[in-house]
A and B are shown apart, each in its own frame.
Chain A
Amino acid sequence: MSKPYGYLALFESAPAVYHAARSVREAGFKKWDVFTPFPIHGMDGAMGLHRSKVPAFTLIGGIIGFATGMLTAWYMGQFDYPLIVGGKPFFSPIFPFPVAYELTILLAAFGTIGGMFITNRLPMHYHPVMNYDKFRHLTDDKFAVVIESGDELFSEAATREFLESLHPAEIAVINDEEEE
Chain B
Amino acid sequence: MSTTADQHSQVSGAYSRPDVLEEVRPASIPRRPLIENNRSFTWITQKVCGIVESKTPTWWWVAFIICAAIASFTLMGLTYLVSTGVGVWGLRNPTFWGWAIVNFVFWIGIGHAGTLISAILCLLKQKWRTSINRAAEAMTIFAVICAGIFPLFHVGRVWFAWWLFPLPNANAIWPNFRSPLEWDVFAVSTYGTVSILFWYMGMIPDLATIRDRVPMIFEQRMANAGTAGRQAFERFYFGFRRLFYGILSMGWRGSNRHWSNYEMAYLLLAGLSTPLVLSVHTVVSFDFAVANLPGWHTTIFPPYFVAGAIFSGFGMVLTLMLPLRAIFGLQDLITQYHIDCMAKICLATGSMVGYAYMMEFFIAWYGANPYEGFAFVNRAFGPYAWAYWIMISCNVITPQFFWFKWVRENLWLVWILSCFINVGMWFERFVITVTSLANDFLPANWDYFSPTIVDIFTFFGTFGLFGVLFLLFVRFLPLLAFAEIKAVSKQADVHGHH
- A residues apposed to B, CB below 8 Å: 13-15, 18-19, 21, 33-44, 47, 49, 51-55, 58, 69, 72-73, 76-77, 80-81, 83, 85-86, 88, 95-96, 98-99, 101-103, 105-106, 108-110, 112-113, 115-117, 119-120, 122-127, 129-130, 135-136, 138-141
Contacts and interface: CB of A to CB of B under 8 A. Distances in A.
Nearest to B171: A81
Contact of B272 (A15, A33, A105): A105
> What secondary structure prevails in chain A residues at the interface with B?
helix
Interface in B160-216: 166, 172-178, 180, 182-183, 186-187, 190, 193-194, 197-198, 201, 205, 208-209, 212-213, 215-216
B216 A136 contact: yes
Contacts of B265: 52, 54, 112-113, 115-116
Contacts, number: 208
Interface string B446-465: 00000000000000000000
A108 B247 CA distance: 24
A15 B254 contact: no
B495 A58 contact: no
A99 B177 contact: yes
B178 A140 contact: no
Given A103-B186, A138-B254, A141-B40, A14 B494 contact: yes
Contact of A109 (B45, B172, B246, B269): B269
Contacts of A40: 256, 259, 487, 492, 494
Interface of B: 40-42, 45, 166, 172-178, 180, 182-183, 186-187, 190, 193-194, 197-198, 201, 205, 208-209, 212-213, 215-216, 246-247, 250-265, 268-269, 272-273, 275-276, 279, 283, 286, 483-484, 486-487, 491-496
Given A85-B176, A125-B247, 17 more contacts: A14-B494, A15-B495, A19-B494, A34-B255, A37-B209, A42-B495, A49-B260, A54-B264, A81-B174, A86-B178, A102-B279, A106-B194, A109-B197, A113-B265, A117-B250, A122-B250, A136-B215
Given A33-B256, A39-B259, A105-B190, A123 B491 contact: no
B269 A113 contact: yes
B45 A99 contact: no
B166 A72 contact: yes
Given A14-B494, A38-B492, A139-B212, A120 B262 contact: yes
A54 B272 CA distance: 13
Contacts of A124: 250-251
Given A14-B494, A122-B258, A136-B213, A130 B253 contact: yes
Contacts of B483: 37-39
Contacts of A110: 197
A116 B201 contact: yes
A58 B265 CA distance: 9
Contacts of A102: 183, 186-187, 190, 276, 279, 283
Contact of A116 (B178, B253, B261, B272): B261
A74 B73 CA distance: 43
Contact of A80 (B40, B174, B276, B494): B174
Contact of A33 (B190, B257, B286, B486): B257
B256 A139 contact: no
B258 A120 contact: yes
A128 to B, nearest CB: 10
Contacts of B187: 98, 102
A38 B272 contact: no
A42 B172 CA distance: 57
Contacts of A80: 174
Q: Which 3 A-B residue pairs are closest in the complex by CB-CB distance? A: A141-B41, A76-B174, A52-B264
A83 B173 contact: yes
Contacts of A58: 268, 272
A116 B255 CA distance: 13
A78 B148 CA distance: 30
A96 B176 CA distance: 9
A119 B261 contact: yes
A179 to B, nearest CB: 17
Contact of A43 (B194, B259, B276, B283): B259
Given A136-B212, A141-B40, A88 B178 contact: yes
Given A38-B486, A85-B176, A139 B275 contact: no
Contacts of B252: 122, 139
Nearest to B210: A139
Given A33-B257, A40-B256, A85 B194 contact: no
